[in-house]
A and B are shown apart, each in its own frame.
Chain A
Amino acid sequence: MFEIFGIPSAALFGQLLIGLINGSFYALLSLGLAVIFGMLNIINFAHGAQYMLGAFAAYLLLELLGVNYWWALLVAPLIVGLIGVVIERTLLQWLYKLDHLYGLLLTFGLALVIEGLVRNRYGSAGLPYTVPESLTGGTNLGFMFLPNYRAWVIAASLGVCLATWFVIERTKLGAYLRAATENPTLVRAFGINVPLMITLTYGFGAALAAFAGVMAAPIYNVSPQMGSSLIIVVFAVVVIGGMGSIMGAIVTGFGLGIVEGLTKVFFPEASNTVIFVVMAIVLLVRPAGLFGRRT
């Protein structure tokens, strides 16, 4: 063990690690928001609620059906993604011709409904979700102790983020998506089923949020309000990064997680607000956001 700036290395790196973990959730969620916004022109306020549903789905799968963490990681996003598809088909599809703001208002209402229903059923107190057997324990790196589960979360979210980036930027499907974002009418004229793409995009975005939720379940308590506070921070992340680029969302998400972690070490009382302060500074210096194009 050694010290850096008078802070024991274990504490410093421990907070950095927590920062990276939070950052991976910021990245996953802002990525989902950006993908949905690109396709549907809707800011999905229900994203936090979908993240929370993912965590609850994992909890219930384990409690009721004995489905383990690894299967939950696959099944919970599928369930929430399906719910997302239903939401898009029944509610969101009527809004595309309206002002963007209506999408925000409707999904805000959805978030209230989902959170309220879950709270009625399970109360406000958190429910515990144990770390899967295969990921307990950790590695001593000499300057800090790295729990295996946390390492896995960072690796997995990085992997999912990069895979999403790859699909959107480097494959034919992604090319269709980007084209449909630019000019849906023209893409439809080429015989591509744009409405289906929109539906699946929303489902995929919801599934991403749920995936983050499942990974968060063993770290934080599974509680009805875990999504609502997070989504506001993610909004700030989106404002800082701008929704123009996928890479931007990933970099900003992880970067701000680290900033938050470091703040916890040096000014613990400011750790809740640091991301919002960064947002204010970015708005002063670069109103369009770090990766944004002037709108």
Chain B
Amino acid sequence: MSMEQRIEAAAPTASAAHSSRSWSEPLVFVIMVALLVIAPKAIYPMFIMQALCFALFACAFNLLIGYVGLLSFGHALYFGWASYLAAHSAKVWGFPPELAILTGTLTACLLGIISGSLAIRRQGIYFAMITLALAQMMFFFALQLKFTGGEDGIQAVPRGKLFGSIDLSDQTNMYFTTVGIFLFGFLLIYRIIHSPFGEVLKGIRENEARAISLGYKTDRYKLMAFVLSATLAGLAGSTKAIVLQIASLTDVDWPMSGEVVLMALVGGLGTVFGPVAGAFIVVAMQNYLAQVGQWVTVIQGVIFVVCVLAFRRGVIGEIAHHLRIKL
């Protein structure tokens, strides 16, 4: 059973005509928004903001693996470089936060166009290796260029005033701005996968040769999906730079690429809400296990192995499978 079939199995209603809207996705979406509104009363807002940035990152990554069947092992490239550019433009050029985030996002878009057009020249496993290698190359650039601050990164990034009026140094303002950006990205991805364009992507995932024979220029579709995914990963990275007020080498290094794969895998590849759940689980685990330092890597590795062997649908995928609904 291939990955595609597994994802299909996780979404039994997917074979139904795409015009039939599922009721479960909007319902869960409303619950998610409600939770995000009341959560800061109960949970440390900084943690939620951080998790939301990673959730958007994981959703962007999942757009490729879950709906086009392309495994990118280098998504840290867009996340990290976007966060560098957002941090730099806010701190050195004095950009307001919305422009800083836009700068970072556009940077990721540009990098996505360049590396995407290289990576889609090969299929499957080669694609994963190429994305990883390109990301490593850009990691060395980040290491050597002056503006990234090398090992120190760019620290003390000013949050500034959103649209010149909303002061983001206020935690509540920052929180709802982050929620807004996350929901914007999330809904955009939701729109994409439920659009005719998204249907073609799924068609490519199922059987690329067939999509080609039907007259679709699959390379263009794949590149488009890649650039969208990279851009949204950049939006997540830029937001993170403003929220945490730092951009550093950790965000561009390969373990970060692995982490986002883990988030999507734990939550459920090819599910709408899986990456969000996965991001919260992984970020919570990291914060919770911060004391045990090095063991985090080992535990992450074990989770990878266990997920692949026994838990391929992920948390949300399993729930959706057992309740026979789409999530």
Give the residues in chain B near A163, CB-CB below 8 Å: none
Interface flag for A20 (CB, 8 Å) = no
Q: Mark B39-51, 1 if CB is under 8 A from A, else 0.
A: 0000000000000
Is A106 close to B, CB under 8 A? yes
What B residues does A126 contact at CB under 8 A? none
Q: Chain B, interface size: which category?
A: 35 or more
- Identify which of residues 10-30 in chain A touch chain B, using a CB-to-CB cut-off of 8 Å: none
Q: Does B265 contact A (CB under 8 A)?
A: yes
Q: Which residues of B contact A102 (CB under 8 A)?
A: 3, 308, 312
How far apart are the CA atoms of A115 and B3 in the complex, in Å? Answer: 28
Known A119-B294, A120-B294; contact A109-B129, beta-carbon cutoff 8 A? no
Digitize B252-277: 1 where CB-to-A-CB distance is under 8 Å, 0 elsewhere: 00100010010001000000000000
User: Which of A37, A106, A235, A280 interacts with B132 by CB under 8 Å?
Assistant: A235
Q: How far is the CA of A97 from the CA of B5 in the complex (A)?
A: 12
- A295 with B122: CB separation less than 8 A: yes
A98: interface (CB < 8 Å)? yes
Q: Is B297 an interface residue (CB 8 A)?
A: yes
State which of B4, B133, B296 has its C-beta within 8 Å of the C-beta of A279.
B133
User: Is B126's CB within 8 Å of the partner chain A?
Assistant: yes
Cα–Cα, bound, A43→B123 (Å): 14
The closest CB in chain B to the CB of A106 belongs to: B308
Interface of B is mostly: helix
CA distance A223 to B144 in the complex (A): 23
CB-contacts of A91-120 with B (<8 A): 91, 94-95, 97-102, 104-106, 108-117, 119-120
Cα distance A151–B126 in the bound complex, in angstroms: 33
Instruction: Select from chain A the residue with minimum beta-carbon distance to B258.
Output: A108
Chain A's nearest CB lies how many Å from the CB of B32? 27
CB closest chain-B residue, reference A277: B137
Given the contacts A115-B297, A120-B298, A43 and B304 also touching, CB distance less than 8 Å? no
Asked if B212 lies at the interface with its beta carbon under 8 angstroms from chain A, I say no
The contact of B302 among A113, A235, A272, by CB within 8 Å, is A113
A101 contacts B124, C-beta separation under 8 Å: yes
Our pick among B124, B133, B305, B307 for the contact of A100 (Cβ within 8 Å) is B124
Is the CB of A167 closer than 8 A to any CB of chain B?
no
- The answer to whether A106 and B305 touch across the interface, beta carbons within 8 angstroms, is yes
Q: Mark B219-256, 1 if CB is under 8 A from A, else 0.
A: 00000000000000000000000000000000000100
Determine the residue in chain A with the shortest Cβ distance to B302.
Answer: A113
| A287:B128 contact, CB within 8 angstroms | no
Question: Known pairs A98-B2, A109-B302, A283-B118. 9 more at Cβ < 8 A?
Answer: A95-B308, A99-B2, A100-B124, A104-B125, A106-B304, A108-B258, A228-B254, A236-B129, A236-B133
Shortest 4 CB-CB contacts between residues of A and residues of B: A109-B304, A112-B301, A113-B301, A276-B137
Which B residues contact A (CB, under 8 angstroms)? 1-4, 6, 65, 71, 73, 118-119, 121-126, 128-130, 132-134, 136-137, 140-141, 144, 254, 258, 261, 265, 294-298, 300-305, 307-309, 312
Q: Please list 29 pairs of residues, one from A and one from B, whose beta carbons are closer than 8 Å in the complex, sorted by A's number.
A: A43-B128, A97-B1, A101-B65, A101-B125, A102-B3, A102-B308, A104-B128, A105-B265, A108-B304, A109-B302, A109-B308, A110-B305, A111-B301, A112-B300, A112-B304, A114-B301, A116-B298, A117-B298, A120-B295, A233-B133, A235-B133, A238-B129, A272-B144, A276-B133, A277-B137, A283-B119, A283-B130, A287-B121, A295-B124
